[in-house]
Amino acid sequence: MVSPSYSHTSGRCPPSFSKEPNKQPNTILPQLVFNASLPSTHHQQVSYFLPPLNPPCPLPPYPPLSLLYSPSFLSLSFSRIAVYCLTMGAGFSSVFKSENPVTVGSLPSKPGLGDLPESCAAMILGYLDPPEICKLAKLNRAFRGASWADFIWESKLPSNYQTIVGKVFGDGLENLGKRDVYTRLCQPNSFDDGTKTVWLDKSTGSVCLSISSKGLAITGIDDRRYWNHIPTEESRFCSVAYLQQIWWFEVDGEVEFPFPVGTYSLFFRLQLGRSSQKRFGRRVCNIEHVHGWDIKPVRFQLWTSEGHYASSQCFLTEPGKWNYYHVADFVVENPNASTKIKLSMTQIDCTHTKGGLCLDSVLIYPSEFRERLKHF
């Protein structure tokens, strides 16, 4: 039987396991002593020296093959072999965790992204879009700290963002950093008693604005024989105006807002059919009362305070589906002054009635991204 025991003796770190009976080394080393039955005719005590936890040699020695295949080593219990392996692992890992790389013969690590100064990281982030900045902020501490730099987010904000903040929030964001201001503006922000909502596109920082059906002047809206406001989850305002039946159809609206310089498109969001709650997880739309929209087209008109006027007309189609009907485009050239916009949608041919229409809102969207609305 093999009876392993630990003792501490002294000696230099050997290049490999030594097998020397009853010989004491000169330095302190962990020593595993076996009373092994050797192939010879007599029994003797054999000491197998383990490497120290912090050896001066580059790598800890491995046991010779003669030891691994000897009956003495194979007769060890699994628990004792585990003690041996843990001791070997401690010495091996200490080579790579040593605080003095020169002592263990390894080279110092090369500089990485974690060593990049925050000022340099901030310069890199300034060339990226806001979603990419937020992704790189998760990379390491340098990029996370640089992602809060005001000059980065001020370049992403609209040129007249202070005027927009004053219009929507008043003086509520004076003490916030530019990143927090950008975050707040990217959220839907209501004003004018909740009838209008403005937000920034997260990727480009462009201004988007929506007017609810309650913020529009609708002929006959107070008469429940014609119009009703019905709740729905399909609107950002949680309700839409539903037309049951009417002869004279007219909707007018007006908004004044400090739009940044650019070209914008105006849309009406409409649906033929009455929206209802989901049933068994599926959307249900009642198109039973849809009529009159295929006889004459609906006319859209747009006026701006800068003297721009445009009109268009089209038939309302695709019952049961929300559609954005394009009215016209307009250009903003002066960001320091509020642009006043008037709009209308009419179908005033009194030879027939119209009905079964849901009016959700009016949307003002940057013209360069209008193709995105096809996916909504």
Mean pLDDT of successive 10-residue stretches along the chain, which has 376 residues: 41 42 42 40 42 45 48 42 36 39 53 78 90 91 91 94 92 86 95 95 94 96 94 92 95 96 96 81 85 94 94 94 95 92 94 94 94 73
Domain boundary among 39, 72, 104: 104
Structural domain span for residue 148: 114-154
Handedness of CA 97, 99, 105, 109 (dihedral sign): positive
What is the per-residue pLDDT for 120?
87
Q: Using the 8-state DSSP alphabet, how is residue 160 labeled?
A: T
Assess whether 21 and 94 both reside in one domain: yes
**Is residue 204 domain-shared with residue 135, that is, in the same domain?**
no
195 and 327 together in one domain: yes
Structural domain total, the chain: 3
- pTM of the prediction? 0.69
**Domain identity same for 98 and 120:** no
Beta strands in the chain (DSSP E): 5-9, 29-36, 44-49, 189-191, 196-200, 207-212, 217-218, 227-231, 239-243, 249-257, 262-272, 274-275, 285-286, 298-304, 309-314, 322-332, 339-347, 357-366
- CATH code for the domain of 311: 2.60.120.260
The answer to whether residues 27 and 122 belong to one domain is no
Residues 73 and 203 placed together within one structural domain of the fold: no
Q: Do residues 138 and 194 share a domain?
A: no
**205 & 333 share domain:** yes
Query: Does 84 share its domain with 120?
Result: no
Is residue 170, in this structure, part of any structural domain at all? no
**Residues present in the chain in total:** 376
Give the separation between CA 301 and CA 344, rounded to whole angstroms: 5
Do 143 and 214 fall into the same domain? no
Q: Identify whether the C-beta of residue 221 lies closer than 8 Å to the C-beta of residue 251.
A: no
Q: Are residues 269 and 301 in the same domain?
A: yes
Q: How buried is 217 (Cβ within 10 angstroms: 0-12 exposed, 13-18 middle, 19+ buried)?
A: exposed
pLDDT score recorded for residue 64: 52
**CA atoms of 143 and 126, how far apart (whole Å):** 12
Distances (CA, A) of 125 to 35, 144, 201, 205: 67, 10, 18, 16
One domain for residues 142 and 202: no
H-state helical runs in the chain: 65-68, 71-74, 78-97, 101-104, 118-125, 130-136, 141-146, 150-154, 161-168, 178-186
Question: 41: phi > 0 → left, psi -120 to 50 → alpha, else beta; which?
Answer: alpha
Residue 273 within a domain: yes
One-letter amino acid of 225 = R
Q: How far apart are CA 197 and CA 216, in angstroms?
A: 13
Instruction: Answer yes or no: are the C-beta atoms of 187 and 180 closer than 8 Å.
Output: no
User: In this structure, are strands 357-366 and 262-272 parallel, antiparallel, or unpaired?
Assistant: antiparallel
Please indicate, yes or no, if residue 182 is contained in any of the structural domains.
Answer: no
Picking from 27, 1, 32, 33, the residue whose alpha carbon sits closest to that of residue 14 is: 27
Give the pLDDT of residue 276. Answer: 72
Identify whether the C-beta of residue 39 lies closer than 8 Å to the C-beta of residue 23. no
User: For 237, what's the count of Cα atoms within 13 Å in the CB-facing half-sphere?
Assistant: 26
Per-residue pLDDT, 172: 74
CB contact at 8 A, 266 and 327? yes
Residue 180 lies in a domain: no
